[in-house]
């Protein structure tokens, strides 16, 4: 799939080769390919539609709606921000080790970092 996208004017990320990028004027489309999963986002709805048509012309895929969960991370999107957390993982972890009644602690890092 990555090779197909590269042949269609996409560029591979310099640090992460599973990250694929395409720019069109001032707009950007970012595609993350992980095994059989793809997530993508764009600054322009037309680029989103073009990508969807292109990828479906070559591969069988189902379009999902808004991203909620990816690689163990939960994603919550609002109109003005996107939050990434691991609440489900933490609940499973504390249950696994019998720590459901443990008291929560603040994160020892500045939330602005």
Return the domain boundaries, the chain.
1-64, 65-101
The pTM for the full model equals 0.63
Q: pLDDT tens digits, residue range 46-104?
A: 888 888 888 888 888 776 677 788 777 888 888 888 888 888 888 888 999 999 888 88
Q: pLDDT tens digits, residue range 99-108?
A: 988 888 777 7
- Token pair belonging to 12: 């591979």
Number of H helices, E strands in the chain: 3, 7
């Amino acid at each position: 799939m990555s090779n197909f996208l590269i042949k269609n004017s996409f560029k591979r990320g310099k640090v992460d080769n599973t990250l694929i990028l395409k720019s069109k004027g001032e707009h950007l489309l970012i595609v993350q390919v992980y095994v059989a999963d793809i997530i993508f986002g764009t600054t322009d709805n037309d680029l989103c539609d073009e990508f969807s048509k292109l990828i479906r012309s070559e591969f069988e895929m189902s379009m999902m709606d808004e991203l909620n969960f990816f690689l163990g991370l939960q994603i919550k999107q609002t109109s003005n921000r996107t939050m990434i957390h691991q609440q489900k993982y933490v609940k499973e972890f504390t249950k696994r080790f019998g720590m459901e009644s443990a008291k929560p602690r603040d994160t020892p890092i500045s939330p602005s970092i």
